[in-house]
Amino acid sequence: MGTQTGAGRFAPSPSGPLHLGNARTAILAWLFARASGRRFLLRVEDLDPQRSRADAAAQQLAELKQLGLDWDGPVVWQSRRGGRYRDAVDMLRREGLVYECFCTRREIQEASSAPHGAPGAYPGTCRNLSDIDRERLCRIRRPALRLRVPPEERRGEITDLRFGQVCGEVDDVVLRRRDGVPSYNLAVVVDDLAQGIDQVVRGDDLLSSAPRQAFLARCLGGLPPVYAHVPLVVRPDGTRLAKRDGDASLPELAAAGWDAARVRAIILDSLGLPDLPLHRVVERFDPAAVPRESWCPALPERT
Ligand code: GLU
């Protein structure tokens, strides 16, 4: 075990109970952190008022404890940290790195489905608006705020323990949504920096977000973490589990006879690890031996 001073974390969004994939990622994040002598922190990503549910957050924390996870210090709740996100946007604004974007989702989709647009990528419509246009639009719509990424920074590289050096797109990411809510990308970066997190273990569906988050971390005067984007849990047809649909949720599994101890044992088995208390498993944990393919377990029938 090393003597690192950094920290790893698990950061669930409380939009429903955890599913088997979330549980596996949480256990992996814990093992990666503990095996490298890091602290392990828990953060509830409850910024989105439409999708976050207080009861789901409490349930997720209970589920993590039942799986045998522990964490250092109090749980951090993003919904209580609005001041930090405002400060970060102000700092970026002072550096000339923020602009107002008046586009609706539909306008962005239409522009990005044009022949040369990358799907979903922001086409830059509002990047260079004149003052007159900006004032006119301000009277009609409340703007989102976006990061102004200089052209030479539009490709970024990150270090990932599974994928190696990964180069990806850094786009003009939204910092604050039109409804005033800080964006996921801003909040993740602000909090990872503020919490001293230098190791981010999470599902590989977020790999493509890492270069933009790493760039944002540098803009805010910090260093990006080392990443480990771990494989997802999928159904036999290859689709991934979705928390909002209650897919293979821990309560559903418990109802089918897979209690927390069984879920943990099955997850550890999928990682080639013995069914022991986690503080003993950690001695045998080798990050390089984590399977690289997504995991397709035989799930109990849905009730
Ligand atoms: N809150 C995100 C989720 O539940 C994870 C964010 C992250 O780990 O960066 O999918």
Q: DSSP letter string over 238-300? A: SPBP-GGGTTTBHHHHHHTT--HHHHHHHHHHHTT--SS-HHHHHHH--GGGS--S-B---PP
Ligand 1 pocket test, candidate residues 191, 201, 206, most atoms within 8 A of CB: 206
Determine contact, residues 95/62, Cβ cutoff 8 Å.
Answer: no
* Closest alpha carbon to 211 in 185, 184, 177: 185
Structure tokens at 42: 């828990």
Q: Are strands 144-147 and 174-176 parallel, antiparallel or unpaired?
A: antiparallel
Is the pLDDT confidence value at 145 over 60? yes
pLDDT above 90: percentage of residues in the chain: 85
89 in the same domain as 72: no
H-only helix segments in 195-234: 210-219
190 CA distance to ligand 1 middle (Å): 14
Return the number of other C-beta atoms located less than 10 Å from residue 183's C-beta: 21
53 in the same domain as 28: yes
168 CA distance to ligand 1 middle (Å): 19
34 in the same domain as 57: yes
pLDDT tens for each residue of 267-276 = 999 999 999 9
Return the number of other C-beta atoms located less than 10 Å from residue 66's C-beta: 16
Q: In what order do the strands lie in the sheet with 155-160?
A: 76-77, 39-44, 7-10, 197-203, 226-230, 155-160, 164-169
Please give the pLDDT value at position 250: 96
| Residue 108 maps to a domain | yes
| Residue 299 maps to a domain | yes
Is the pLDDT confidence value at 24 over 80? yes
Please give the pLDDT value at position 238: 87
| Residue 191 maps to a domain | no
pLDDT, mean of residues 133-146: 95
Domain boundary among 176, 209, 235: 176
Please give the pLDDT value at position 1: 46
For 290, phi and psi rounded to 5 degrees?
-65, 125
Atom of ligand 1 nearest to the CA of 200: 8
Domain boundary among 176, 207, 227: 176
pTM: 0.94
Is the pLDDT confidence value at 288 over 70? yes
Please give the pLDDT value at position 108: 80
58 in the same domain as 9: yes
Please give the pLDDT value at position 81: 98
- Determine the residue type at 100: E
- Ligand 1, atom 9, lies closest to the CA of 188
49 in the same domain as 33: yes
Q: Which range of residues forms the domain containing residue 107?
A: 83-157+167-176
69 in the same domain as 106: no
Please give the pLDDT value at position 71: 98
Give Cβ neighbours of residue 97 (< 8 Å, ≥ 6 apart).
147, 148, 219
pLDDT, mean of residues 289-303: 87
23 in the same domain as 63: yes
| Residue 297 maps to a domain | yes
Return the number of other C-beta atoms located less than 10 Å from residue 137's C-beta: 17
Answer whether 207 contacts ligand 1 (Cβ < 6 A).
no
Distance CA 297, CA 249 (A): 14
| Residue 199 maps to a domain | no
Distance CA 212, CA 222 (A): 14
For residues 164 and 115, the model is more confident at: 164
pLDDT, mean of residues 16-43: 97
Lowest-confidence region among 31-45, 100-114, 123-137, 221-235: 100-114
| Residue 67 maps to a domain | yes
Query: Active site includes 65?
Result: no
Is the pLDDT confidence value at 178 over 60? yes
Is the pLDDT confidence value at 113 over 80? no
Lowest-confidence region among 11-25, 114-128, 180-194, 274-288: 114-128
Average pLDDT, rounded, for the chain? 93
261 CA distance to ligand 1 middle (Å): 24
Q: What CATH number did the domain enclosing 260 receive?
A: 3.40.50.620
pLDDT tens for each residue of 232-254 = 999 888 888 877 666 899 999 99
Helix then strand then coil, in percent of the chain rounded to 5, is 40, 20, 40
7 in the same domain as 55: yes
Q: What CATH number did the domain enclosing 143 receive?
A: 3.90.800.10
| Residue 235 maps to a domain | no
Answer whether 13 contacts ligand 1 (Cβ < 6 A).
yes
Distance CA 41, CA 197 (A): 8
Strands (E), 75-224: 76-77, 98-101, 144-147, 155-160, 164-169, 174-176, 197-203
Please give the pLDDT value at position 302: 66
* Closest alpha carbon to 286 in 90, 35, 24: 35
173 CA distance to ligand 1 middle (Å): 16
| Residue 47 maps to a domain | yes
Give the number of domains in the chain: 2
Answer whether 202 contacts ligand 1 (Cβ < 6 A).
yes
107 in the same domain as 73: no
Please give the pLDDT value at position 253: 95
Where does residue 274 rank: exposed (0-12), middle (13-18), buried (19+ CB within 10 A)?
exposed
pLDDT, mean of residues 60-65: 98
Please give the pLDDT value at position 2: 47
For residues 120 and 237, the model is more confident at: 237
